[in-house]
Amino acid sequence: MASLRERAIDVYNWFEQRLGLAAPAIEAAEHEVPSNTSSWWYVFGSAATVILVLQVVTGILLALVYSPSASHAWSSLEFLDHNVKLGWFLRAMHGWGSDFMIAIVLIHMMQVFLFGAYKFPRELTWIIGVFLLLLTLGMAFTGQVLRFDQDAYWGLGIGASIVSRVPVVGGALVDLMLGGPIIAGPTLSRFFTLHVFVIPGILLALVGLHLLMVLRLGINDWPMPGRLVNKKTYVQEYHKLAEQTGIPFVPDAAWKDAIFSAAIILAIMACAAWFGPFGPTGQPDPTIIQTAPKPDFAFLWIYAVLAYLPPSLETPVLFIAPVLVIGGMLLLPLVSGEGEKHWSRRPVAVLMVAVIAVTLGAFTSLAMYTPWSPIMNAWTSDPIPVGDLKDRTPLEREGALVLQNKQCRNCHSIGGAGGMRGPALDSVASHMTEDQIIRQVLQGGGNMPAYGNALNPAETTALVHFLLTLRGGNLSPAIDASRKLVSSSEQSPSQAPPKSSAPAAP
């Protein structure tokens, strides 16, 4: 056995003499890090790197089967899902890996921000990290396009529409993005090139730089309140700390990274096995317009923001906000490269993280059920609740029919069913008078189209009479106080509801 061992060492030495890689690699692995960095908070960067490797491997495996052509991409995905052994699982791993990647990168960034790790001398590491985040999001978007289904097709349309709003060069940029006059074969080829060659190339190079800099500058020491970063003394202090409390990164600190990475990979596998691959949804056939396209998880918040921005603000916000946000992230370490690192003495930083997280979370959760989108088939699928039709006059029931037929339900819910674009109608008559309802229906306003052209007088009358019965159980109807004055002064019986104690209409 000894001779076998010796021969193995000989082989190793033969390669090492020529390559000379092992010695510096071992040295790098065993470099001393301050013992306080051996923490479960320091595992996210390595986990992101491991997921990157997983994405590269699964991506290459998918590329063995995937056909990057507009006419066959979708069917090659169906083929992967159903005809290739474990193809569905590889697709699921790649898809879930992408979601985990974005989550881990964001958590990593948040941790680095809260620990002040972007401060001197690690400013450039942070700046490269910002580009890595953007590239990761770029991978997610281009990857979604490669899943060439309805969502991908219309997602490209949304992308082109956004790009077209760039002043002056918008049209040329759209052409560059699509590679032709429409979303078609050349478009998919471009996004395939971006997803498979361009972005991964830059991503891997920058990850290499990012890691080299972590090695060169040393991992950020655990921040202590009151221990301020000073450009003149920091490096010296850090080296002293590393000397005094230093432990070899491998194995003393790295075991936590290894365990966390293994857990994340297992989690990705579990999600992939349990939930399966994403899509593909319907075929990328633009003539099938019965679709409600939605972006992937990471971009849902943008989808929501675009729904809520007032039209006049949309273009400026679309182009100024990203510049400010990305510029702010890039400038952050240059502006505040020194000083306090500990989160307990940086309330603004903590507040920013909280506000950003809550904002993104809120917009994402809104985009999960898109209250701003009309529900296109609500008018034929959601009936009027029986209770709202009981003991109604024929005219009022006719009005309920008009309400259904004119697609009001696509935007307005009754009994919890229907669109949420407009207000629910369950108690509309308790806060709008007859005149107000008529005006609103015929002339629209407040984000409601005018229906004057789509309703004849008989339909309008019936519809309004039905709406007047919707008083949320039995709330008092809205009344117009001035009307009552006029009618009482004319001594004529009013059409308005008889209850004099009813509150005035808003």
Partner 1 sequence: MNSSEPLSPGDQAAATELATNAKSAGHTRRVFLFKLSLLLNGAVGAILAVPIIGYLLGPAMKKSSSEDSWIKLGPLGDFPEGETRLVNFRNPMTTPWDGQTGDIPCWVRHITGNNFQVFAINCAHLGCPVRWFAQSKLFLCPCHGGAYYEDGSRASGPPERGLFEYEHKIVAGSLMISAGKMPTLAACNCSQPKLTQIQPRATTSAASFGEQRPNEGARPRSNSWPA
Of residues 74-133, which lie at the interface with partner 1 (CB under 8 A)? none
Rounded least distance, CB 311 to partner 1, Å: 5
How far apart, in Å, do the first and last CA atoms of the chain sit? Answer: 94
Window 3 to 62, contacts with partner 1 (CB under 8 A): none
Verify binding: residue 157, partner 1, rule CB under 8 A.
yes
Verify binding: residue 286, partner 1, rule CB under 8 A.
yes
Sign of the torsion formed by the C-alpha atoms of 329, 335, 337 and 340: negative
Of 7-15, 64-72, 111-119, 331-339, the window that binds partner 1 (rule: CB under 8 A) is 64-72
Among 24, 394, 457, 506, binds partner 1 (CB under 8 A): 457
Among 307, 395, 475, 502, binds partner 1 (CB under 8 A): 307
Place of tokens 């056909």: 67
Q: 276 vs 293, which CB is nearer to partner 1?
A: 293
Of 156-164, 244-252, 329-337, 383-391, the window that binds partner 1 (rule: CB under 8 A) is 156-164
Closest CA relative to residue 400, chosen from 449, 450, 467, 453: 467
Window 309 to 328, contacts with partner 1 (CB under 8 A): 309-314
* Dihedrals phi, psi of 229, to nearest 5 degrees: -85, 125
Rounded least distance, CB 295 to partner 1, Å: 10
Among 452, 472, 481, 488, binds partner 1 (CB under 8 A): 452
Residue 289, CB-side half-sphere exposure with 13 Å CA sphere? 2
Window 246 to 285, contacts with partner 1 (CB under 8 A): 283-285
Verify binding: residue 158, partner 1, rule CB under 8 A.
yes
Rounded least distance, CB 291 to partner 1, Å: 7
Rounded least distance, CB 278 to partner 1, Å: 19
Task: Provide the mask over 343-362, with x wherever binding to partner 1 is found by CB under 8 A and - wherever it is not.
Answer: --------------------
Strand partners, 426: none
Among 16, 25, 60, 71, binds partner 1 (CB under 8 A): 71
Among 164, 436, 487, 494, binds partner 1 (CB under 8 A): 164
Closest CA relative to residue 118, chosen from 335, 360, 344, 321: 335
Cβ proximity of 330 and 125 under 8 Å: no
Verify binding: residue 154, partner 1, rule CB under 8 A.
yes
Collapse the DSSP code of 386 into the 3-class scheme (helix H, G, I; strand E, B; otherwise coil) and give the result. Answer: helix
Rounded least distance, CB 29 to partner 1, Å: 34
Cβ proximity of 457 and 475 under 8 Å: no
Of 213-221, 444-452, 465-473, 492-500, the window that binds partner 1 (rule: CB under 8 A) is 444-452
Verify binding: residue 368, partner 1, rule CB under 8 A.
no
> What is the identity of the amino acid at 276?
G
**DSSP result, 157-219:** HHHHHHHTTSTTTHHHHHHHHHSSSSSSHHHHHHHHHIIIIIHHHHHHHHHHHHHHHHHHH-P
**DSSP result, 416-475:** TBS-SSS---TTGGGTS-HHHHHHHHHH--SS----TTT--HHHHHHHHHHHTT--TTTP
Window 402 to 441, contacts with partner 1 (CB under 8 A): 405-408, 410-411, 421
Q: 212 vs 313, which CB is nearer to partner 1?
A: 313
Strand partners, 339: 229
Q: 176 vs 266, which CB is nearer to partner 1?
A: 176
Q: 189 vs 494, which CB is nearer to partner 1?
A: 189
Place of tokens 């052209």: 453
Cβ proximity of 432 and 478 under 8 Å: yes
Q: For residue 33, give the DSSP letter.
A: E
Task: Provide the mask over 370-399, with x wherever binding to partner 1 is found by CB under 8 A and - wherever it is not.
Answer: --xxx-x--x--------------------
Verify binding: residue 289, partner 1, rule CB under 8 A.
yes
Of 107-115, 230-238, 301-309, 320-328, the window that binds partner 1 (rule: CB under 8 A) is 301-309
Verify binding: residue 198, partner 1, rule CB under 8 A.
no
Q: Rounding to the nearest 10 degrees, give the CA dihedral for residues 139, 145, 151, 154.
A: 110
Q: For residue 107, give the DSSP letter.
A: H
